């Protein structure tokens, strides 16, 4: 099992669809993150979960809804997206943020295209 696994790797959806991105980590970490990677822009931190509690939400539109049922799984539920939401969505995990090693372990990303 690789460290952080994301599915699906590619997703095409219409603006009225509902879909979900899934992330699973096998590293024993207890913090998980969603990042958005768009061309020519810095990575944007969307959500942070620490010990299954959401600790950060960076003003992300409500059409993105995260869910963290346990420390190994993280979902991003998508609903009524816009074409500008097309991007690579990266999941990451880390040890307890309070230890602040600063090292994140990333999945390979889910490439989302909104038509």
Per CB under 8 A, residues contacting other proteins are 4, 6, 31, 33, 40-43, 45, 48, 56, 90, 92, 94, 97-109
- The DSSP secondary-structure symbol of 3 reads S
The minimum distance between CB 85 and other proteins, in angstroms, equals 19
Measured from the CB atom, is 12 or 56 closer to other proteins? 56
How far apart are CB 16 and other proteins at their closest, in Å? 29
CB of 108 to other proteins, least distance (A): 5
> In b/e form, how buried is each residue of 8-46, taking b as 16+ CB within 10 angstroms?
eeebebeeeeebebbbbbeeebbbbbbbbeeeeeeeeeb
In the bound state with other proteins, the residue whose beta carbon lies nearer, of 75 and 105, is 105
Nearest to 114 by CA among 30, 19, 44, 42: 19
Among residues 15 and 56, whose Cβ is nearest to other proteins? 56
């Amino acid at each position: 099992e690789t460290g952080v696994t994301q599915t699906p790797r590619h997703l095409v959806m219409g603006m009225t669809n509902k879909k979900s991105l899934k992330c699973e980590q096998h590293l024993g970490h207890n913090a998980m993150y969603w990042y958005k990677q768009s061309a020519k822009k810095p990575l944007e931190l969307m959500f942070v979960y620490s010990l299954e509690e959401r600790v950060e939400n960076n003003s992300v539109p409500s059409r993105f809804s995260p869910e963290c049922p346990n420390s190994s799984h993280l979902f991003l539920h998508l609903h009524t997206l816009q074409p500008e939401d097309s991007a690579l969505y990266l999941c990451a995990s880390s040890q307890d943020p309070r230890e602040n090693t600063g090292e994140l372990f990333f999945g390979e990303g889910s490439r989302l295209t909104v038509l």
